[in-house]
């Protein structure tokens, strides 16, 4: 569970569901459901744009909302479905880092467009994050 930059708005994860509150946690409602997604981690970046990922399972999945949770979009990740997401960290709604393990190798990616495209920034042999 985590709250956005607006302390009244928060999200909680329940395996395959994203729950949302708009009254500081007094009441919660199901905001999004994705079967077998194993949602694990909420990454708040502001009021409008936030991210949810499943960590430690294959295939890795990352979801984004850019409209305060009215809709969620699953982002395409590197590795063609063979990767496990280790972590994600967005420093702004557009700029973020993604750590993945794909076929036994560790990769570090960066995005500057809200996860629409990812660029590998490490050498998997010399710097396997």
Tell me the per-residue pLDDT of 92-114, one tens digit each, with 9 for 90 and over.
999 999 999 998 899 999 999 99
Residue 128 has pLDDT above 80, yes or no: no
Total residues found in the chain within this entry: 129
Average pLDDT over residues 61-65: 94
The structure's pTM equals 0.89
Residue 79 has pLDDT above 70, yes or no: yes
Task: State the chain's mean pLDDT as an integer.
Answer: 91
Average pLDDT over residues 53-82: 89
What is the pLDDT, as a whole number, of residue 22?
95
Average pLDDT over residues 40-63: 88
């Amino acid at each position: 569970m985590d709250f956005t930059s607006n302390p009244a708005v928060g999200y909680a994860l329940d395996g395959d569901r994203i729950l949302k509150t708009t009254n500081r946690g007094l009441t919660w409602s199901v905001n999004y459901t994705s079967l077998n997604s194993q949602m694990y981690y909420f990454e708040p970046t502001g009021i409008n744009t936030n991210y949810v990922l499943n960590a430690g399972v294959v295939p890795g999945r990352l979801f984004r909302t850019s409209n305060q949770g009215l809709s969620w979009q699953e982002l395409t990740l590197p590795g063609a479905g063979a990767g496990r997401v280790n972590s994600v960290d967005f420093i702004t709604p557009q700029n973020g880092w993604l750590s993945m393990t794909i076929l036994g190798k560790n990769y570090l990616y960066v995005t500057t467009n809200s996860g629409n495209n990812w660029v590998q920034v490490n050498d998997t042999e010399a710097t396997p994050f």
